Structure 1
Amino acid sequence: MRAPLDRLRHALSFELIALLLIVPLGALVFHVPAHDIGLVGLVGATLATLWNMGYNVLFDLALRRFTGTTRKSPLARLLHAALFEAGLLVVLLPFIAWYLVISLWQALVMDLSLAVFYLLYALGFNWAYDRLFPLPEWQAAAQTP
């Protein structure tokens, strides 16, 4: 499993890169001022970072219990990303509706759009992160026949 500092590096780099992408894209797509998307993004990133750290520990513990390793198959990566986004959706929906003064339906559409972006982004980011910072246990498992 990953060390706490590695998890912190993962969570912070994930959110920082996402914010750099989502603020200009969100302002363009949703026709909302960049500072509003920026604040929604910052609150979302803060909540997501906290959720990310706890969620990843729980997911890795469950994955190791059920499969014997924390190495993620493509299906496990998809499940990992989808469950993460579902948990975040529940928390962010009321905030988005309140802050942007929009209906829950509009907030749901916006939040689902952001969730699709983040789902694809999470798949790519986590794959790249695992390639850049592989765990020793994965290398040992790959060498075992």
Structure 2
Amino acid sequence: MTALFGTPDIAIGMKESVSRVRLFDGPLDLSWRHCATTSDFIADLFALRFQSSRNDYMEVRHSIGYLTNELIENAVKFRAPGEIVIEASMDSESFKLKVSNDVDGENASEFQSLLADITVGDPKDLLIQRIEANAANPDA
């Protein structure tokens, strides 16, 4: 069964050029270090157009890197064996990111619950809730 989370009309690739990265399972195994390396690469790539202003460049790079890293980490954490596909595009008004992975039945409900929280809540409120929950329970 395939399920889409997020805005269904995101349609990456319809009008803009798309950068696509595939993370494959293999001898190195997908792990947390791949998340940071991949998200840094994507953030650097898309922030380049803002390099005329150091402040804009740093803000865009940080925002894209943070978002990308969080979504890739979730994909690695909840995935079934197989590849993770990251697609990204940016136009003058928006940055779009799509992360695709397979999830086994055992992790699907937990993953769906997490994605539902992310897609319906206010991101600022969710971040504060997560920080408070992590502070209260460092082992979580």
TM over 0.5: no
Give me the TM-score of the superposition, normalised by structure 1. Answer: 0.35
- Higher relative strand content: 2
Bigger radius of gyration among the two: 1
- Higher relative helix content: 1
Give me the TM-score of the superposition, normalised by structure 2. Answer: 0.36
